Structure 1
Amino acid sequence: MNILIAPDSFKESLAAIDVCRAIQSGFSQVFPDADYTLLPMADGGEGTSEVLSYALGGDWQSVVVNDPLMRPITARYLLLDNGTAVIEIAEACGLHLLTIEERNPLVTSSFGVGELINDALNKGAKRIIIGLGGSATNDAGAGMLAALGLHLYDVKDNVLAQGGGQLDNLQRIDDSMFNPNIATTTFEVACDVTNPLCGALGASAIFAPQKGANPVQATQLDKSLNHFATVCQQHGYADNKNIAGAGAAGGLGFALMTFCNATLQSGFDTVAQAVNLSEHIANADLVITGEGKLDAQTSMGKVAGGVSELARAHHKPVIAICGSVDGLRPAQTTQFDVVMPSIQKIDTSDNVLKGAYDNIETTAVNIAAAIKLGQTMRTAF
């Protein structure tokens, strides 16, 4: 029996590869002779680089860049042998890099993301996969663009200071020093956010409050980003502010589409294509996936839903092991043959998170035992 194990990480408890190992450990106690393929998955957010490193190899590149408040930090990205770089923007401008008191999207900058891109280009990358998610910024990617050589000036011809709050002062754009390698590089953005750049569903209105903005500041940021998009259009750049995903990561989606000709696609699809998930599923007899919480968002671009959809297309049985199931009616779980929560007993959140590996392993043992019992009974009757 060929068993493919392809789960997402269980947030705050286990990386995707550790989930794989827990499931394999449990199943192996019942089916020790089965052939197991471990394929940790991600949806373009945190952990995507780790997943691709496991599946595809490559070398980690460490770079000193500026954090969201323009302080030096060491960030890393993955460089594959085929000239592909995998960059998670949170490495350079992530919300986790700031204390709660430091969070202020009026001044935070995506400059460090541009520094990571420059390093990858200087090392010969011809394809760059960028995972958007977890940013502390709301600057429409202006900081990133500045690091790449784009000069933004105000009405007095002074270079704009960093931060989304400054974009309302933009008067002129000079791209004469913009990194020329960008024009010959393919940019693919892994993004599950469909928000436009501006408006009621835009980056500022929806996400800036999570990054420290009060309502007045969120309104100011929306105005600033709208002005930035208008000036870009006046300088001959495409009008991308209403394109789905333009508002991702505080408008980094807009900047990457407008200045790097990036294509935005589902984060899960990006990872699935990179690791040849469909081929692995075609060769499996059983597919096991999972995530920390199975809920209404599972079928909306998340790993478990995506794995299930591909398994169904190949007519393969698929099992989902999750931490918990939240708010789903029975009809909404029919995309899986089996859905099994792994929490074994009522306990504190801390203990549940600490016990995730053992809980998943125990759940896998029980599922495997049930499968073996079914095989035995089928033979008996």
Structure 2
Amino acid sequence: MLSGLNAWLWQDRFWLPSNHTWAQLEDKDGLVFAHPGHMLAALPLALALVALRMAFERFVALPLGRWLGVRDPTRRQVKPQPTLERYFFKTGRRPQEAQMAVLAAQCGLTLRQTQRWFRRRRNLDRPHLSKKFCEASWRLAFYLCSFVGGVCVLYHKPWLWTPAVCWDNYPIQVLEPSLYWWYLLELSFYVSLLITLPFDTKRKDFKEQVAHHFVTITLMATSYCSNLLRVGCLVLLLHDAADFLLEACKVFNYARWSLACNTLFVLFSFVFFYTRLVLLPTQILYTTYYESLRGSSPFPGYYLFNGLLMVLQLLHLYWFSLILRMLYSFLKKGQMGKDIRSDAEESDSSDGELRNGVARGPGAASADGPRSRAARLTNGHVAAT
């Protein structure tokens, strides 16, 4: 049964243009072609990258963060309250005021004390600044190395400058060792990100991040199966061009290097816009939709590859909308605000809640107001893709 399913899945007509077969892509006379089985090497390599990441964060990123002055804010512990703890885990982290009053009565606390308990309890579950710094440092190191390596691999390739060349003699294109190892490393990295996603800092676009990783991995696997490595590597290079700038921006923001952070964020915004909303649709999507059909008809692999590229482009539009909101805030305030995808650390006297029985509105003044606003600015970080 499994052999029959395997034979059906790997039919020539699914993955290759008409009039082409897998037999034409068999290794011979010293020539090596891309084979789907090569992708299995990405699994052990992904586990190796997870181990390397753990070592990097512990022995490189964490000491670097301390040297740059990255310090975790002191968080106040909460007194044991079994009733509130049960509600926190089973019902919700942010109860409405009416429910808050009921919980306060059950525990013999005032409304303000109950509100403070929930704020402090939420803060305890938020990732520390040093954790965010280590994660961003690891991604910065990888994306920077990947981008530099990709430029070195592709700089002398004609299809880097003229994407239409990707389709010369397609799919009978020899697999170059340097291209294979770079592509495999990228695939392994995204698999490793998927493995560590449950343990990484969660943000409001968590679902979009999961979708992005799945789409990217499926896109790379599909492109490898259909020997679309040339155009696939162009997509990867365009993404890495903006990704390492973003992670560098985060690192400087966590270290409170405001000028470097602000400069890099503006640069990242322009690079993101140009690479993913200009070059990707006008150069990559155009060649994969139209120029790829020269002398052949569409096949299932063509539809799958282009469909995934379109999903990726929709995610780019969503993230660019977040970047525009951050840019607007930056131009309005003259400094970088918190990441709109992240929850900021909450103070013990948040605006809009009760103090001494008097409701405080958003514009009310307080002795710790400036300190709280500064904390929200420095504990946040710029929007990411």
Measured against the shorter chain, the TM-score band is under 0.3
**The structure with more helix, counted as a fraction of residues:** 2
The structure whose RCO (Cα within 8 Å, separation 6+) is larger is 2
In our comparison, the structure showing a higher alpha carbon Rg is 2
Q: Which has the higher strand share?
A: 1
TM value normalised by structure 2: 0.27
